[in-house]
Structure 1
Amino acid sequence: MPRHDRHRRIAIGLVTLAATLPVACGGPGSGSPQSTDTGTTLTERPTCGKEAVTMSGYFETGFPMPKALTDEFSKQFPNVKWDIREDQFAVITQNAPRVLADDPPDLMRLPQVSELVKDNLLKNLDGYAKVFGWNSWPASQLAQLRMKPGGGPRGEGSLFAMGLNFSVTGVFYNKTLAERIGMSKPPATLAEFDDLLTKARQANITPIVQFNGGATGGFAFPLQNLMAAYGEPGPINNWIFQKPGATIDLASNQKAAQHLAGWIKAGYFDRDANAMDYAKMMSKFQAGDGLFMFNGDWESGSLDKQMPGKVGFFPFPPGTTGGAAAAMSAPLTFGMAANAKHADCAAFFLDWVATNPVARRIAVDVGGSHPMGPADGPMPQVAPGTVTAETLTAGAKISQDNGAMDFIANATGAIYAKSWTPQLQKLFAGEQTPEGLLKSVQSDYQGQVGR
């Protein structure tokens, strides 16, 4: 998802660096059994060895955390260098099957894993999960990355990917503009949020700056938040995880789509939303050209630097007073090609990301998100009053309320670029109805999952 994949957390902890140190010194591919598509058991903890190794990576453009992590990893393990290629998320979504098959990277930012697992393009990480102890982490961290080998619904089975952190989405707001319309605290209900949108429009402030251009548009963010306000996250997750009989064309989701259409008709979005890409949205928000922005905590660190003290964040409010908060909540998904050359080293890196104190600090300071990892340790400290502090608090509340959802863009590999985005662009342009949008997406979904 933007990060889109970005997208969803989350009691996470810290273990000592000593717990991450290897018990053996075999280099990558040094003869120790490897985890394969059948989940072969490992006999020792893999490492990156001591010989020079160059790791190949395929990362997403515009997000500094993965590069910050690889740079720090090379400082701690000087024998490991990185050869990293970057592309926009839309390009990665389109290229993933070909890249994994023809030029298999050791570590790759992944869109959606279902079709990649079915086509045997991803390495089964069960062996690594067992030897590193990943299975003892909170199950919700990894559920979205599990499938049965050969395909099937997500949420259970073997582990085929890992997260570099655990993100939460919600609503960023400009504190200066909020003060102009009398907003002294985040809205507690959808009705209160609607009232703020009206006040912003009356004050000649763009209520919502939201990208909806390109191959992966951003109107899926407000739509899914509205879905959560009108219904429960369970049926949405069932649809995303491809559970048998699941549908997105529910009565509650129809109300959500109708509500979004109402915002469009009322002029609550920037007029050129369909021509706006993600980078332009960020530029406009940072320039003070919008009150609200639906986005994820991966921008928290950047906003704390670019707009210190001027940005707030809250989970999208429930539909009724006292309702539970819900939000998209997902790992920043990375995996290994089935034929990755340095799979052991990649697995060691993934474990280091979740357990090393400096790496966990990078996840918070640069990524603005919860680190992955065990549940029994403290979070790195963050400065009070920062937007990063607010996003971390919001993630904890979502976890407490059991309101985490995967992103609707992750239901299939093609659903985001080929269905949600064009249909939402048509909705904004007045060429699609809310009811027609959901029926079209459901039809595309059934064709893509084969039922």
Structure 2
Amino acid sequence: MRVHKAVIAGAIALSLAACSPGSGSSDKTAAPTTVSTDVAKAGNVTLNLTDFWGAAEGEWIKQVITDFEKKYPNVKIVRKTEDWGQLNSTLNLQLQDAGGPDIATANNGWQSLGTLAKGGLVVNLDAYAKAYGWDKSVPTTIARQNQFTTDFKTMGSGSWFATPMARTSLIGLYYNADKLKALGIAPPTNLADLEADAAKAKAAGQIPFEYGSQDGSTTVLLGLQALLADKKKLNDYIYGDSTVKAADIGMTDAVTLTKKWADQGWFPPNFNGIDYQTAVANFVGGKGVFRWEYTGSLGLNTQQQGHFGYLQLPQQSGSGTVGVGAAPGAMVVSAKSKHPDVAAAFLNYMMSPEAGQAAVDRGLVPAMSPDVQVPPASLSLTGESAGAATLDKNDGYVPYFDWSSPTMLDTLGQNLQLLYAGKTTADKFTAAVDKDRDTFLAGQS
């Protein structure tokens, strides 16, 4: 699940980023000067792929591989699956091995992708971005998640060192459709509606938001921030623009609103003692009317999907829809691959409408695939797909906030606990966020 992967990423950062990104580029990070998109003329090619996907995600990539091999019978893709934590902690070593993967899933951010790119372990994909039109077809807010300047001082601009795929993971609002119907409440269409609905649910004896903060869950805070912050400033902050401060990106307002909801009793009693897995089980089991969550993390079966809906609420300012989201993995091509052209063609196929439909067919959230056919009985997947399509159209993605520094996830979780206990204020919370990010940036330079 995305929330736990984010936690692991913070732990891995210290070991993986032994040399923090800094200045200095080399020929190893330059894009190839000549590329080919003609896979059929490449001859017989075998590519090794390493990823961490299991369950429905694993079935999705199997289907994508099968379809690609059918399209190009001269290509064979050999897939290996590893534990997510193991893969991310060893990928830098695997890519130094001539027998390592041609294609792999990396983690976005400085702690993984930035380190691999700076070390010259993955291919600079700029030439392929132009050849396949990624620089035009991929929403810029998603493209930025895969880019670094070649002096490795800046994340979020510069050259492509990875690609997304026709799948996404978002933070949004789930609702129990049966409870809304019983309460006579329509699904909210904006933040004001949501607060009014929460007040009605509380008055009726229901828990408005199922939530537990024991292990530092940040989904409520970051979900609200996306409704309140300026999209460009929020992206710039996370990507290291030191002139933008946390107070400029809705952090103080989001913290204040989160604390207000807690004080109004809109979270479960003793929510500080509820861990993440218990909160998920409680919501799926019928407790709570709403829940902020990562898409796919509720583990809904086919029958349950008809009883839970999903919303990507618009910004409070009415300026469009913004949401926290990223592809579930950054796809990289090894610098040691003997067939980078074919590997890049496979990355391109992973972004195709066909790959998006294959995702929906397995209950996964598509991206960059506006024409996918979603099973009408799946209320949750219908909402998730609509949310992703809206963010695609609005170019409305913002990355996970913990990408702003290797220790940001801990800073957010620790200060949330202090906030709920009345031991810090929204202003001090915001100051702590700035201190964490700015300390990291100072170390970069």
- TM-score, normalised to structure 1's length? 0.77
Is the counterpart of residue 102 in structure 1 residue 93 in structure 2? yes
Runs of 4+ in 1 over 6 A off after TM superposition: none
Aligned length: 402
Matched-pair contact (CA < 8 Å) for 1:60–1:109: no
Cα shift readout 1:176-214 (whole Å, capped 9, x = no counterpart): 111233212x22343332222223233332222235454
* Counterpart position of 2:163: 162
Of 356, 361, 382, which aligns to 2:357?
361
Residue 35 of structure 2, aligned match among 30, 43, 53? 43
Give 1:256's aligned amino acid: A
Choose which of 403, 406, 411 in structure 2 pairs with 1:410: 403
Alignment partners' CA distance in 2, 1:276 and 1:319: 30
C-alpha distance in 1 between matches for 2:106 and 2:172 = 22
Q: 1:308 aligned to 2:305?
A: yes
State whether residues 236 and 405 of structure 1, in contact with CA within 8 Å, keep that contact through their aligned partners in structure 2: yes
Q: Retained in 1: the 8 A contact 2:405–2:436?
A: no
Match of 1:153? 154
RCO higher in 1 or 2 (8 Å CA, sep ≥ 6)? Answer: 1
Relative to structure 1, the CA distance from residue 369 to residue 203 in structure 2 (aligned partners, 3 Å threshold; closer, same or farther) is same
Residue 218 of structure 1 corresponds to which residue in structure 2? 217
Cα distance change on mapping 1:304 and 1:340 into 2, 3 Å: farther
Residue 254 in structure 1 maps to residue 252 in structure 2: yes
Where does structure 2 lack aligned partners over 5 or more consecutive residues? 7-26, 70-74, 96-100
Q: Which runs of 5+ in 1 are unaligned?
A: 7-34
- CA distance in 2 between partners of 1:309 and 1:53 (Å): 40
Q: CA deviation at 1:439?
A: 0.9
Aligned residue runs from structure 1 range 68-147, under 5 A: 68-76=59-67, 77=69, 79-87=76-84, 91=85, 96=88, 98-104=89-95, 106-113=103-110, 115-116=114-115, 117-118=117-118, 120=120, 122-140=122-140, 141-147=142-148
Residue number among 338, 344, 348 corresponding to 1:347 in the alignment: 344
Say whether the 8 Å CA contact 2:109–2:155 is kept in structure 1. Answer: no
Q: Does structure 1 retain, via aligned residues, the 8 Å contact 2:60–2:362?
A: no
CA distance in 1, matches of 2:422, 2:343: 47
Offset of 1:99 from its aligned partner?
Answer: 2.1
Change (3 A) 1:303 1:450: same
Deviation at 1:323, TM superposition (A): 5.6
CA contact (8 A) 2:223 2:323 kept: yes
C-alpha separation between the residues in 2 aligned to 1:211 and 1:239?
Answer: 27
Among 434, 440, 450, the residue aligned to 2:432? 440
Partner Cα distance (1:73, 1:395) in 2: 20
Partners of 2:147 and 2:347 in 1: CA distance: 16
Note closer, same or farther for the CA distance 1:253–1:187 as it changes in structure 2 (3 Å cut). Answer: same
Report the Cα distance in structure 1 between the residues aligned to 2:421 and 2:334, rounded to whole angstroms. Answer: 42
Contact 1:162 1:334 in 2 (8 A): yes
Change (3 A) 1:137 1:223: same
Match of 2:193 in 1: 192
Q: CA deviation at 1:166?
A: 3.6
In the alignment, which of 172, 175, 191 is matched to residue 173 of structure 1?
Answer: 175
TM-score of the two chains, using structure 2 as the length reference:
0.77
Please point out which of 34, 48, 56 is paired with 1:64: 56
Give me the whole-angstrom Cα distance separating, in 1, the residues matched to 2:91 and 2:415: 29
Aligned equivalents of 1:425 and 1:318: distance in 2? 26
Residues 319 and 368 (structure 1), Cα distance of their counterparts in 2 relative to 1, 3 Å cut: same
The letter for the 2-side match of 1:303 is L
AA paired with 1:396? A
Q: Does 1:234 align with 2:232?
A: yes
Aligned to 1:183: 185
Question: In the alignment, which residue of structure 1 is the partner of 2:390?
Answer: 397
Q: Which amino acid aligns with 1:434?
A: A
Q: CA deviation at 1:224?
A: 2.7
Query: CA-to-partner distance for each residue in 1:59-105, whole Å, 9 max, x for gaps?
Result: 267x732x123322443438422211123xxx47xx84x42322335
Distance in 1, matches of 2:420 and 2:38, equals 50
Q: Distance in 2 between matches of 1:291 and 1:205?
A: 7
Give 3-state SS (helix, strand or coil) of 1:332's partner. Answer: coil
Cα-to-partner distance string for 1:294-343 (whole Å, 9 max, x where unaligned) = 1244459x5361413211122235436x5643322333332337556577
2:329 is the counterpart of 1:328: no
Q: Secondary structure at the match of 1:64?
A: helix
- Percent identity over paired residues: 21
Q: Is the 8 A contact 1:299 1:367 kept in 2?
A: no
Residues 440, 121 of structure 1: alpha-carbon distance in 2 compared, 3 angstrom cutoff:
farther
Report if the CA contact (8 A) 1:297-1:367 is conserved.
no
**For residues 263-301 of structure 1, what are the alpha-carbon distances to aligned partners after superposition, in whole Å with 9 as ceiling and x for unaligned?**
12223223465555554443222211221111244459x
Partner of 1:82: helix, strand, or coil? strand
Give 1:238 shift.
1.4
Equivalent in 265, 268, 271 of residue 266 of structure 2: 268
Residues 277 and 125 (structure 1 numbering): CA distance in 2 closer, same or farther, change over 3 Å?
A: farther
* Contact 2:321/2:394 (8 A) holds in 1: yes
